Amino acid sequence: MSLFETALKATVMSTEVLVQANVSKKILFECLDIAREFEAKYSAYKEDSLLSKINKNAGVKSVECEEQELFIIQKALEIAKLSDGKFDPTIGALTQGSYGFGTKDKKIPSKAELKAKKELVDFRFVKIDKNAIYLNKSGMRLDLGGIGKGYVADIIIKHLIDRGATKALVSVGGEICSFGKNYNVAIKDPFFEKNIAVIKTSKDPLSISTSGDYERYIGSRENHHILDLHSAKSNHFYSSVTLIKNGTDATTLDGLATILFNSVSDELRSLSDKFGVATIAITPQKKILFENFFNLNIKNIELYTFN
């Protein structure tokens, strides 16, 4: 095993995966395989994936799964309950079934269609009995995009630790975990091709998650992919929201980023405190909001100003 850091960058799940750690290249490629295996099993766009099988059997029958296969779904349901449904993994009826995000058939749905599909979005209609999962209503769809990248970052970090890494940085499409070294993590400017901030981490485990309206949209950022469950449409409170939290739990942080992105600015402070996260939110008017930067393992933050 190399004593020096090696790095691997590749595109998986239509997103960039970066793994940097003091391990051999063989172990780095094992991390890449982990991301690919996750995509094969939980992609909503692969006909033979486990998730597609669950969705196809909505309202028909339960689907048997291995205990480990259910973990991420149970985690998504926990976050949904914690947020009183502000985050909901059954949003697939809207993201996939109506808007067609991630497909060739993207469109802006009619009000009537959105109203009908909203009736299929409710995490309480997901039933797990032992190792079987059942979606109560025909037409329901699970979409794990709200926590999937964070989950992949977490399991890669765990694999690196199990294989002897003493320092690592893992980034899966903006969901980041680090430990063992002072890393510089850039926050993208949502309006220009540059960075708006650099976070200097400490050597303690840290997780960072960013959600933005510039990543996926239909036609323009007015119709971005982070949907508000009440309106079934895109909110425009922020152009990006970055959360920072002690420890390596990018799965939860990924879901929390969706929750805060769809929360008005008056709620940012209380929610940041409730969930134990630091928040950097950038509004469409280019105002930067900071909340809850106390007792976090952040050595320093350097900010670049807008032009």
Predicted pLDDT of residue 227: 95
Provide the pLDDT for residue 102: 85
With 70 as the cut, is the pLDDT of residue 4 above it? no
Q: What is the average per-residue pLDDT within 177-199?
A: 91
* All structural domains of the chain with their residue ranges: 6-29+148-303, 50-146
Averaged pLDDT, 229-242: 94
Residue-wise pLDDT tens digits, 68-105 = 899 999 999 999 999 988 999 999 999 999 999 988 88
Higher pLDDT: 22 or 298? It is 22
pLDDT, tens digit (0-9, with 9 covering 90-100), for 144-164:
999 999 999 999 999 999 999
- Tell me the fold of 6-29+148-303: T-fold (3.10.520)
Residue 303: per-residue pLDDT: 59
pLDDT at residue 197, rounded to an integer? 87
SS (H, E, C) the chain: CCCCCEEEEEEECCEEEEEEECCCHHHHHHHHHHHHHHHHHHCCCCCCCHHHHHHHCCCCCCEECCHHHHHHHHHHHHHHHHCCCCCCCCEHHHHCCCCCCCCCCCCCCCHHHHHHHHCCCCHHHEEEECCEEEECCCCCECCHHHCHHHHHHHHHHHHHHHCCCCCEEEEECCEEEEECCCCEEEEECCCCCCEEEEEEECCCCEEEEEEECCCCEECEEEEECCEECCCCEECCCCCEEEEEEECCCHHHHHHHHHHHHCCCHHHHHHHHHHHCCEEEEECCCCCEEEECCCCCCEEEEEECCCC
Region 163-185 average pLDDT: 95
**% of the chain residues with pLDDT over 90:** 81
pLDDT tens track for 240-284: 999 999 899 999 999 999 999 999 999 999 999 999 999 999 999
Residue 293's pLDDT is what? 82
Fold of the 50-146 domain: T-fold (1.10.3980)
If you average pLDDT over residues 49-70, what whole number do you get?
96
For the segment 132-147, what is each residue's pLDDT rounded down to a tens digit?
A: 999 999 999 999 999 9
pLDDT for 41: 96
Q: Which residue has the higher pLDDT, 92 or 4?
A: 92
- Residue 120 pLDDT class (50, 70, 90 cuts): very high
Mean pLDDT taken over the chain: 92
Confidence of residue 299 (pLDDT cuts 50, 70, 90): low
Q: Tell me the average pLDDT across 177-191.
A: 93
Q: pLDDT above 70 covers what percent of the chain?
A: 94
